[in-house]
Structure 1
């Protein structure tokens, strides 16, 4: 998982939610079908896919999916 598109494909596969790149910047409240259980499921899916842990406290501070992507895929 290297790009935002890869991340959003994971969101769709794991959570069944189709989100466009533009939608990734929307707050969670604005995402159709989003609920808090999705957040925990997404963290687990990202950790399995990347092999890296993500700080749950930082994820809980994220305002949208794009911010979670930024946490999940560190910049080199």
Structure 2
């Protein structure tokens, strides 16, 4: 995952949701169809894809996909 576009594609592939780059700055409650199970699944996938362990408290506090992306890439 080299950039935000690849992250969005990964989210789409793993969740089946019609996520776009514009959803990165929206709160999770603004992402159509989003639920907490998507967050758990995506956290696991991001750890596998990046080789990084994500802090689960930080993941739970993330307000958006954009913040989750930043956590995944170490920003």
Where on the TM-score scale, by shorter chain, does this alignment land: which range?
Answer: over 0.9
Per the normalisation by structure 1, the TM-score is: 0.92
Corresponding position of 1:31:
31
Aligned to 1:12: 12
**Residues 13-72 of structure 1: CA distance to partner in whole angstroms, max 9, x if unpaired?**
111112111111111111100001000000001011111111110011110000000000
Which structure 1 residue ranges, 4+ long, deviate > 6 Å from structure 2? Answer: none
Cα separation, 2, equivalents of 1:2 and 1:73? 9
Consecutive unaligned residues of structure 1, counting only runs of 5 or more, are none
Q: What is the CA–CA distance in structure 1 between the aligned matches of 2:30 and 2:24, rounded to whole Å?
A: 10
Runs of 5+ consecutive residues of structure 2 not aligned to the other structure? none
Structure (1 or 2) with the greater helix fraction: 2
Tell me how large the CA RMSD over aligned residues is.
Answer: 0.9
Q: TM-score, normalised by structure 2?
A: 0.94
